[in-house]
Chains A and B, each alone.
Chain A
Amino acid sequence: MLFDSVPYGLPSYVFSPEWFYGFDSVIESIAIIVSVLLVYYSYKCFKLTKENKYLYFSTAFLSLTFAFIAKIIGTLAIYKPTITRSALGSSIHQTFTSVTPSGINALAFIVYIFFILVGFMILFLIISRLTWKNQRVIALLVYFVFLATWISIVHYQLFYVTSFVLLLLITYSYYRNYREIKNEKAKFVLIAFSILLVSQAFFVFSIYSGIIYVLAELVQLLGFVYLLIPFILIFKKKPK
């Protein structure tokens, strides 16, 4: 079976210490809530303005939402094997006899890797002001995402290195954006992406220690909370 085992001799893509099982899923759920809010509002902006940049921004965060859902499914398959032994789980198991919690975990993580990279890449394209006119650059980046996903399946750390590089470019663009408009909300967006960048740096080394994984998750949580702040501030502001 293709997904029966994962690289590095690990039983699954799980780096969390046992006492932290499930807490990471809660953190991912918060990331999903923040992402869904951004998907909803940017799609609303697209419907009102018909400007494609909002649609792409919405797609980027939709991709991140899918990624976090996949990660939750993948980790819960390992954390809660009883789910796979439940009535629904066993009926799935009878239909797909080769499906194991480890298999679900590995497959979910490939989906996770792919959607995280797609999400960050779209975000990078939008804030770099690249349009569909730059077809060759976009084609190259799409190829790069597929390649990175493929290699990341074998070399898991490469995925976090790639997402770190993409986030570094995104954060730099947000730094320039903040310097240009000098607005409090833009500062929060910059801080949020800087924190997410740090979390990716921790994730690179999460394979070596459960504590690093916990730190990475907590820093990621802080990043998404910061991403929510400018959104709340925009909505809290009363019209003049």
Chain B
Amino acid sequence: MIVRRRGRLEIIADILRSIKNKEGKIKPTHLLYKSNLSHAKLKEYVDMLLEKGMIEEQLVKGKKMFLMKDHGYKFLSEFERIKEFSDSFGL
């Protein structure tokens, strides 16, 4: 089976989906495991998502967590709509 490389947007959507599936907050170690990226690559994407205001970093019971923000939910919803459009129209 040919494994297709994920595009940049797909990686971002996968990261956001991982956070969303954990009720909007996730530990960095879980995110690393779920995103299937190297530590350096994940840091690069997380920094970008923090900068774009899609996620935020918070301390919950003394532990670092990533929380999804409204902008992140909006982006994920738009991405899923585009994906559905793309699949339906064979793009």
Chain A residues with a Cβ under 8 A of chain B: 41-42, 45, 48-49, 51, 53-54, 57, 126-127, 173-174, 177, 181, 183, 185-186, 188-189, 230-231, 234-235, 237, 239
- Which residues of the other chain, B, contact A51 by a CB distance below 8 angstroms? 7
B20 nearest CB across to chain A (Å): 9
- Which residues of the other chain, A, contact B81 by a CB distance below 8 angstroms? 234-235, 237
Distance between Cα atoms of A173 and B90 in the complex (Å): 8
Distance between Cα atoms of A153 and B68 in the complex (Å): 59
Is the pair A49, B9 in contact by a Cβ cutoff of 8 Å?
yes
Q: Is B38 an interface residue (CB 8 A)?
A: no
What are 12 A-B contacts defined by CB distance under 8 Å? A45-B86, A48-B82, A53-B91, A57-B91, A126-B90, A127-B90, A127-B91, A230-B88, A230-B89, A231-B85, A239-B76, A239-B77
Is the pair A45, B82 in contact by a Cβ cutoff of 8 Å?
yes
- Which residues of the other chain, A, contact B7 by a CB distance below 8 angstroms? 51
Is the pair B9, A234 in contact by a Cβ cutoff of 8 Å?
no
A58 nearest CB across to chain B (Å): 11
Nearest B residue (CB) for A53: B91
Is the pair A185, B91 in contact by a Cβ cutoff of 8 Å?
no
Partner of A183, one of B9, B73, B76, B87: B87
Chain B residues with a Cβ under 8 A of chain A: 7, 9, 73, 76-78, 80-82, 84-91
- Which residues of the other chain, B, contact A49 by a CB distance below 8 angstroms? 9, 82
5 tightest Cβ-Cβ pairs between the two chains A and B: A185-B88, A239-B77, A177-B90, A127-B90, A53-B91
Is the pair B90, A185 in contact by a Cβ cutoff of 8 Å?
no
Distance between Cα atoms of A181 and B89 in the complex (Å): 11
- With A45-B82, A48-B82, A235-B81 as contacts: A126 and B88 at CB distance below 8 Å: no
Nearest A residue (CB) for B7: A51
Is the pair B88, A186 in contact by a Cβ cutoff of 8 Å?
yes
Is the pair A48, B88 in contact by a Cβ cutoff of 8 Å?
no
- Which residues of the other chain, B, contact A42 by a CB distance below 8 angstroms? 85
- Which residues of the other chain, A, contact B87 by a CB distance below 8 angstroms? 177, 181, 183, 185-186
Distance between Cα atoms of A185 and B91 in the complex (Å): 13
A189 nearest CB across to chain B (Å): 5
A134 nearest CB across to chain B (Å): 17
Nearest A residue (CB) for B82: A45
B72 nearest CB across to chain A (Å): 12
Distance between Cα atoms of A230 and B86 in the complex (Å): 11
- With A234-B84, A235-B81, A239-B80 as contacts: A186 and B9 at CB distance below 8 Å: no
- Which residues of the other chain, B, contact A54 by a CB distance below 8 angstroms? 86, 91
- Which residues of the other chain, B, contact A231 by a CB distance below 8 angstroms? 85
- Which residues of the other chain, A, contact B88 by a CB distance below 8 angstroms? 181, 183, 185-186, 188-189, 230, 234
